[in-house]
Amino acid sequence: MIVSTVSGGLFARHSRRWNVGKEWQRPLRVRSDCCGLENAGRIRHSGAGPSTHARLRHHMPSSEPVVAASDAVLVIDAARPSAGVPVRELLRHGDLLLILAQRDLKVRYRQAVIGIGWAVLRPAATVAIVVAFFGLLGKAPVTGETPLAASALVGYLSWQLFAAATADMSESLVRNRHVLTKVYFPRVLIPLSATAVGLVDYLVALLPAAAFLAWQGARPGWPMLFAPLWLAGLLAAAVAGGLLLSALNARYRDVGHVVPFLMQLGFFACPVIYESAAIIPERYLPIYRLNPVAVGLDGLRWSLVGASPPGWTSTLVAAALVGGGLVFSWRVFHWLDSTLADRI
């Protein structure tokens, strides 16, 4: 527990400066009720006349509390924090969240010649490889008249946002352990700020991607209005997974070795470069779409390039799973938070 204290050394220093020595007649007890401190100092004098009292009253502190009592006292201890979401505390530290996000962005593209341009080059190169590969096979994993390049671009950009946010969050606490052990702030700010890099990359690539989709003949229509909802669902799924992995990685470093493998596995298990309806048999689609990431990717394809929709039942189930995952991850993170600085 952190408690601020006030000592009586202040009065001892003043008494030495004034050189009043033993001239005091009766004890003058100065008491401070702030922080529960009593008898902050005791000074004696004897044989002092009225002029001496006047001089001492002019220089010496009054008998009022040395430190003004504060109505708000911040107490930090190692007790288990509440599992509720401290929204007010997070809003109060919003400026710190922005500072951490800006720092991650600067570190990401420091000493890079192309810089933020990699946010466009990586998806473009991946889509070119996908189109060339399936062009050689002679069969595109899409339904209807959806252009393969447009479908692959939407899927890869969305997957890149999810994978980058999840992976960066999982490593965030370990990368910032030197900060966690020296100063207190809501530790959840560190994994949350780690999502900024993936989100900025996605937003930077969005405008060139929109131009490419228009060139490919994509006419989304009214389903485009649902695109922000699918995107928010993917980001919420990334936060749920990232919070859980970051807390576990701070305790068990093996998690950091497992996350890259999970991202590689998810690239093929989720409909990143293909559409679910074009690969998965119809009778297995309800089971396959228990994966919220698959529902989000199919939903974005439906909104932006006119692919097959995931269906409302699958969407509601995915939303419930993401919501439950957020609650579970938050509880695990706060359960491990009290001993995080000691074990990281």
Mean pLDDT of residues grouped by 10 in the chain (344 residues)?
A: 39 39 42 41 43 47 49 54 60 83 81 76 89 80 81 93 94 86 83 90 90 85 91 95 92 90 94 90 91 95 89 93 94 81 67
Q: DSSP class of residue 7?
A: -
Please tell me the distance from the alpha carbon of residue 327 to that of residue 330, in angstroms, as a whole number. Answer: 5
Closest by Cα among 230, 110, 102, 96 to 162:
230
Task: Based on the fold, state whether residues 70 and 182 are members of the same structural domain.
Answer: no
Token pair of 246 as six digits: 């970051």
Query: In which element (H, E) is residue 296 found?
Result: helix 292-305
Please give the pLDDT value at position 96: 85
In a domain, 275, yes or no: yes
Please give the pLDDT value at position 131: 87
Please give the pLDDT value at position 73: 59
Please give the pLDDT value at position 71: 58
- Considering 77, 106, 130, which residue would you say is the last residue of a domain? 77
Q: DSSP class of residue 43?
A: E
Q: How many domains does the chain have?
A: 2
- Contact indicator for 121, 275 with CB cutoff of 8 Å: no
In a domain, 262, yes or no: yes
- Phi, psi (deg, nearest 5) at residue 42: -140, 125
* Cα distance from N-terminal residue to C-terminal residue, the chain: 20
- Considering 77, 96, 119, which residue would you say is the last residue of a domain? 77
Task: Based on the fold, state whether residues 284 and 157 are members of the same structural domain.
Answer: yes
Please give the pLDDT value at position 284: 92
Task: Based on the fold, state whether residues 4 and 123 are members of the same structural domain.
Answer: no
Residue 74, classed as helix, strand or coil, is coil
Task: Based on the fold, state whether residues 264 and 298 are members of the same structural domain.
Answer: yes
Task: Based on the fold, state whether residues 98 and 190 are members of the same structural domain.
Answer: yes
Please give the pLDDT value at position 44: 41
In a domain, 107, yes or no: yes
Please tell me the distance from the alpha carbon of residue 299 to that of residue 203, in angstroms, as a whole number. Answer: 18
- Phi, psi (deg, nearest 5) at residue 24: -90, 140
Range of the domain at 13: 1-77
Task: Based on the fold, state whether residues 183 and 36 are members of the same structural domain.
Answer: no
In a domain, 82, yes or no: no
Please give the pLDDT value at position 33: 43
